[in-house]
Amino acid sequence: MEKPLTGHIKDDGSQLELKGYEKEGGYRAVKKVIGKIDPENVTATVKDSNLKGRGGAGFGTGMKWGFVPMGEDAITPKYLVANADEMEPGTFKDRLLMEENPHLLIEGMILSAYAIQASIGFIFIRGAYVKSVDRLEKAIHEAREKGYLGKNILKSGFDLDLYIHISVGRYMCGEETALLNALEGRRATPRFKPPYPQASGLFGNPTIVNNVETLCCVPYIMEHGAEAFKNLSYTDEGGTKLYGVSGNVKNPGTWELPLGTTMREVIEEHAGGMMNGYTFRGALPGGASTDFLVNDHMDVKLDFSTVMNVGSRLGTGTLVVLDDKTCPVGFVANLMRFFGRESCGWCTPCRDGIPFVQKTLEAMEAGKGKEGDMDVLESHVEFMGPGNTFCAFAPGAMEPLQSAMKYFGKDFKQHITDKKCAWKGNGK
């Protein structure tokens, strides 16, 4: 099977340097495209490939680019930003790409920037990814030396400068408009949309923010065409996907698989199934802000639309597995502690609602649950539904809670009636 994202990556965890990358066919797409194909055609190809954003929302990448104003009247400079602020709990895919194949991201950014005619690119990377930063810096230097970056790239007349912004924390920066605020040296609270960043983004100029993995798909698309990319997957959505599994499975890790691989295959084949003595109860398919999938969903194809049809979201495609020896209430309480801490404090439901939910769950865990607590939880799920809050943060936070109550409601109630957590003192 073809692995456009990780195929070149060596097993030893070392960095693929420029020479090695070029030897594997790297920068061929750049040579093929820059200055030779109209930018609009690049966007059209990406649109045809049905590449969907890998950061979690699954929005069509080509479509997103299509909203960038083109032509001479467009405000310049335009910006391209790689969202490398991977901080979704349970997600560990972009780190792999940046550490081990940084040129792939750079090539993807050159092509994407060319498509929207952006002349400045930023890689917004979380501060904890020290190794990624080192390797990207080195790779950018190499690419610049070789003329892939800078002024008049490959004598095409196209310019692109690429910079790294090392973030100083906060999950919120993963939201594209909050990220832009952080890049502008502001507090990372989200911005109201519309205007979308394509119209008024970084420093008020047209901007595209794409996830690292998304950008890494672009070189393959441009080299092999939209059809080839589509053919990589098991469904209509194009490409491969980095799937991952964490939790009490035998072999946690990350694998590049055709988009639409079933949850069963990911967990049982690649992750080696559950650890001995543990039974699968459910999994968050793509990070902390997705709804649980359970046993019934084992054969669901993990792509954006199929997962949505069964009431969850593919998100980042890195599964967090809940087992029978782990308390589902404690599990969700942990997530709420995270969300409560990372809420930016801008809008009311998120800022003041999540802590209430968190405290309620923690009380239940501590055997101090009360009658009415289930109402509190349920009403807050509704309260923080999509559209009710300023951005998608709180609705995302409610997804694991609402689905946990749906699938493990008994366990929640039992915490209240028994005045204790049955998992406490039982290895947990």
Partner 1 sequence: MLSEQEKKEIAEELEHLPRKTAGGLEALRVVQKYRSWISDEAVSDISEYLGMSETQIDGLASFYNLIYRKPVGRHVILFCDSISCWIKNADNLQEQLGKHLGIKPGETTSDDRFTLIPVACLGACDKAPVMMIDDDLHVNLTEEKIKEILEQYK
Partner 2 sequence: MVNIYIDGIKYQAEEGKNLLDYCLSVGLDIPYFCFHPAMGSVGACRLCAVKMYKDENDTRGKIIMSCVQPVQDGMIISIEDPEVKHFRAQVIESLMNNHPHDCPICDEGGECHLQDMTVMTGHVYRRNRFKKRTYRNQYLGPFINHEMNRCIQCYRCTRFYREYAGGYDLDVFGIHSRVFFGRHQDGMLENEFSGNLVEVCPTGVFTDKTLKKHYTRKWDLSTAPSICEHCSLGCNTIPGERYGKLRRIRNRYNYDVNGYFLCDRGRFGYEYVNRETRIKKIKARFGAELQDTTEDEILDKITNAFEKGKTLGIGSARASVEANYALNKLVGAENFYAGISGKDHQILRNYLDILRNYPVNVPSMKETEEADYVLVLGEDITHSAPRLALSLRQTLMKKAMDEAARVSIPRWLDHAVREFYQDGKAPMTTITPYNTKLDDVASKSLRLNPHDTVKFGFLLANRINNDAPAVKDYPGEWDEWLDQLAKALINAKKPLIVSGWGNGLEEMLKAAANITQALNGEERKAGLFYALPEANSMGLGLLEGNDLSGIMETGDAPENLIILENDLYRHFDKVQADKFFNQFKNILLIDHTETNTTDHASFVLPSGVTAESSGTFINTEGRAQRFYKAYIPEAPVMDSWRWLGRIENHLKKTGGQWNSLDECLAELVKGYTVFKPLTELAPPSGFRINGEKVARAPHRYTGRTSMHAHKNVHEQKPPQDEDAPMSFTMEGYNGTPPSSLVSHYWKPGWNSVQALNKYQQEVGGPMHDGDPGKRVIEPTDNPKQQYFKVPVFETKTEAGELYLTPVPHIFGSGEMSSLSAAIREATPEPYVLIHPNVAGQNDLNEDDVAIVRANGKEWKLKVKTDDKMADDVAGITTGFRQSYIVELPLKGNIEKQEKK
Positions touching partner 2 (CB under 8 A) are 75, 170, 184, 187, 191-192, 194-195, 199-200, 203-204, 340-349, 351-356, 359, 363, 370, 372, 375-376, 379, 383, 385, 387-390
CB of 126 to partner 1, least distance (A): 8
User: Alpha-carbon distance 81 to 108, whole Å?
Assistant: 11
- Beta bridge partner(s), residue 63: none
| 89 binds partner 1, rule: CB under 8 A | yes
346 binds partner 1 (CB under 8 A): no
Q: At a CB cut-off of 8 Å and minimum separation 6, what does 63 contact?
A: 47
Shortest Å distance, C-beta 367 to partner 2: 15
Query: Pick from 150, 209, 199: which is nearest to 174 by CA?
Result: 209
Binding segment toward partner 1, per CB under 8 A, in 88-96, 191-199, 215-223, 374-382: 88-96
To the nearest whole angstrom, how small is the minimum distance from the Cβ of residue 356 to partner 2?
A: 6
Binding partner of residue 356 among partner 2, partner 1, none, CB cut-off 5 to 8 Å per kind: partner 2
Alpha helices in 167-211 (DSSP H): 176-183
Q: Work out what residue 41 binds among partner 1, partner 2, none; the CB cut-off runs from 5 to 8 Å by kind.
A: none
Residues contacting partner 1: total by CB under 8 A: 59
Going from the C-alpha of 72 to that of each of 69, 76, 78, the distances in angstroms are 9, 9, 12
Q: C-alpha angle with apex 410: 404 to 416, nearest 5 degrees? A: 100
Interface residue with partner 1 among 187, 406, 410, 419 (CB under 8 A) is: 187
Judged by CB under 8 A, which stretch of 136-144, 213-221, 321-329, 386-394 contacts partner 1?
A: 321-329
- DSSP annotation of 426 reads T
Q: Is 421 helix (H, G, I), strand (E, B) or coil?
A: coil
**Tokens at 340, concatenated:** 């409560």
**Which SS3 state, helix, strand or coil, does residue 63 take?**
helix
Is residue 100 classed as helix, strand or coil in its secondary structure? Answer: helix
Q: In whole angstroms, give the CA distance from residue 167 to residue 133.
A: 11
Binding-site member from 7, 25, 169, 272 for partner 1 (CB under 8 A): 169
Which residues fall within 8 angstroms of residue 345, CB to CB, at 6 or more apart?
A: 189, 351
∠ CA 378-289-234, rounded to 5°: 120
Query: Between 44 and 166, whose beta carbon lies closer to partner 1?
Result: 166
| E strands in 101-166 | 120-125, 161-166
Q: State yes or no: residue 33 binds partner 1 (CB under 8 A).
A: no
Stretch binding partner 1 (CB under 8 A), from 12-20, 121-129, 260-268, 407-415 = 121-129
Asked if 130 is part of the footprint of partner 1 (rule: CB under 8 A), the reply reads yes
Binding of partner 1 by 81 (CB under 8 A): no
Whole-angstrom Cα distance, residue 8 to residue 4? 8
**Least distance to partner 1, CB of residue 395, Å:** 18
Residue 133 or residue 202: which is nearer to partner 2 going by CB? 202
In the block, residue with structure tokens 């190794």: 131
- Does 275 sit near partner 1 (CB under 8 A)? no
Closer of 247 and 340 to partner 2 (Cβ): 340
Phi, psi for 154 (deg, rounded to 5):
50, 40
By CB under 8 A, name the binding residues for partner 1: 86-92, 94-95, 120, 126-131, 161, 163, 165-171, 182-188, 203, 244-248, 252-254, 284, 288, 318, 320-323, 326, 330-331, 334-335, 337-338, 341-342, 344, 428
